[in-house]
Structure 1
Amino acid sequence: MDIVICEDDLVQLERVKKTIENYAMMEDNGMEVVLATNNPDDVLSFLKSGKADCYFLDIDLNHEMTGIALGSQIRETDPIASMVFITTHAEMSYLTFIYKLAALDFIIKDNPDILKEKLLSTLKEAHRRYLKIGEQDTIQKLQIKTNGRIQNIDFQNIYFFEASPDSHKIILHLENEHIEFYGRLKNYEDLHSDFYRCHKSFIVNKSKIQNIDSKERVIFLDNGEVCYASARLIKGLLK
């Protein structure tokens, strides 16, 4: 679960970051702080190239952009990420409802000990929701476990599944990455209408196909990779 923190107080920023990182290390649950900054512009730049699964935002950022405004921009690109506001201004919590930000929690940072306790309880709930994402059909994500970590991968980012030479393993081909995990291809044949079992060793995402050499039964993907089709199954793919 990737986490972004935006807090203008550098001492507080480091405290929140350390609390999360220590918890992640103790639990070995794959949580990672991918950005910790006191500048909301850094978060906006981050959103141009990717998105996180959970955001911890201070409301008063000592910047022309408030945490509420930043949260609104995050929501435009990511409607399902967990969002947590941290502030000394309890009276401002109503703003998260006015702007329909669907905040997971609102943490008051007036006591360091209580802050840590509240951070951890909120973090656990955010992680619980993150693990549920792969179970929701409407989200269109594949949830896999690799090296003891959970990953949620958008269906649209998958190019093809390949049976690994290692028994009972699958190689998942993304645009610029290969991920190996335990599983059987037959369990992913009907995962989505875009996925087609084209060979005993391959399931291809039809939306990622660039062209097909039907004579050689080679499938060329948009990212430059190739996979193969069997004589029997290529007919269905061409159809």
Structure 2
Amino acid sequence: MFPIYLFEDNVEQRNSYREIINKTIMINEFAMELRTVTDDQKAILTSLDQKNGLSFLDMEIGENKQAGLELATQVRTRLPLAKIVFITTHDELSFVTLERRIAPLDYILKDQSPDLIEQRIVKDINVVQDELKTADDQREDVFNYKLGARYFSFALDDVILLSTCKLRPGNVQLQALHKTAEFPGNLNALEEKYPSLFRCDKSSLVNLHHIQSYDSRNKELLLDAGIRCKVSFRKSRELNKILKDQL
């Protein structure tokens, strides 16, 4: 789960931002979690993910008008790719973020209406989600598909079989470890995007890592989870050679 952090000392505002963030994650089914909600710098720093994260930081905590700025500097030092959003009343400190090379994703002023603040928070979460989606698309070890307005990603190694849906042309049936799904797509595009998957016939792509056995006489694969898949005559020679080379 991609971590989100919230640093705010005003209880009412903290609860409002918490609700907005959690609602956005839940409605869109993003692979994100609001990991830490606090007014304590140490609590944020000790819970930081080792790779990345999105932090919503109040600039002023108690009497310290630059508490959020100080925290952002430490976050940026530890996580160069982290996303940082300031939510503050101090618009004059925006120039200081440039001087310290914090490069925030956004700078939200609290003197705006609650609706505008919510819109900015939601927009920032969506921007980060889009960047995560783009990064996943470029990774060869991640399988992605879209269902409606939602994107799903998981390890390509978990894919067992992709097949065309006979009852619903234009849809693909996914069978993976602990997961089944159906989504709009076509095998030609998927074969090009994921060249490690093997095209058994015109209607099936398989992950050869999940082969249990191959009956070359009947041209049938037995895959993990008891899934069976036919192999065309043309593809059977290619498959035989691949399996022979793997021995």
Q: TM-score range, shorter-chain basis?
A: 0.5 to 0.7
The 3-state SS of whatever aligns with 1:189 is helix
Q: How many residues align?
A: 217
* Gap change, CA 1:95 and 1:226, over 3 Å in 2: farther
**Alignment pair present for 1:167 and 2:172:** no
Match for 1:93 among 85, 97, 120? 97
The 3-state SS of whatever aligns with 1:194 is coil
* Gap change, CA 1:11 and 1:170, over 3 Å in 2: same
For residues 108-154 of structure 1, the C-alpha deviation after alignment (integer angstroms, 9 at most, x for no partner) is: 4x43x3575255246436535744745996345655332x3321425
Does structure 2 conserve the Cα–Cα contact (< 8 Å) formed by 1:219 and 1:229? no
TM-score with structure 2 setting the length: 0.61
CA distance, structure 1, for counterparts of residue 157 and residue 99 of structure 2:
35
The 3-state SS of whatever aligns with 1:97 is coil
Matches within 5 A, 1:5-154: 5-9=5-9, 10-20=11-21, 30=29, 34-35=33-34, 37-38=36-37, 39-40=43-44, 43-44=47-48, 47=49, 55-58=54-57, 66-70=71-75, 73=78, 83-88=83-88, 90=93, 93-94=97-98, 97=101, 103-108=104-109, 110-111=110-111, 113=112, 117-118=116-117, 120-121=119-120, 123-124=122-123, 127=126, 130-131=129-130, 133-134=133-134, 138-140=138-140, 143-146=144-147, 148-153=148-153
**Superposition RMSD on alpha carbons, in Å?**
4.4
CA distance, structure 1, for counterparts of residue 206 and residue 212 of structure 2:
12
Larger-gyration structure (1/2): 2
The alpha carbon displacement at 1:230 in A equals 0.5
* Gap change, CA 1:30 and 1:234, over 3 Å in 2: same
Does structure 2 conserve the Cα–Cα contact (< 8 Å) formed by 1:84 and 1:105? yes
5+ long unaligned stretches in structure 1: none
The alpha carbon displacement at 1:167 in A equals 1.2
Does structure 1 conserve the Cα–Cα contact (< 8 Å) formed by 2:30 and 2:129? no
Match for 2:191 among 189, 199, 204? 189
* Gap change, CA 1:135 and 1:87, over 3 Å in 2: closer
The 3-state SS of whatever aligns with 2:195 is coil
CA distance, structure 1, for counterparts of residue 76 and residue 173 of structure 2:
36
CA distance, structure 1, for counterparts of residue 76 and residue 211 of structure 2:
38
* Gap change, CA 1:32 and 1:198, over 3 Å in 2: closer
TM-score with structure 1 setting the length: 0.63
* Gap change, CA 1:193 and 1:187, over 3 Å in 2: closer
**Alignment pair present for 1:218 and 2:217:** no
5+ long unaligned stretches in structure 2: 38-42, 62-66, 243-247
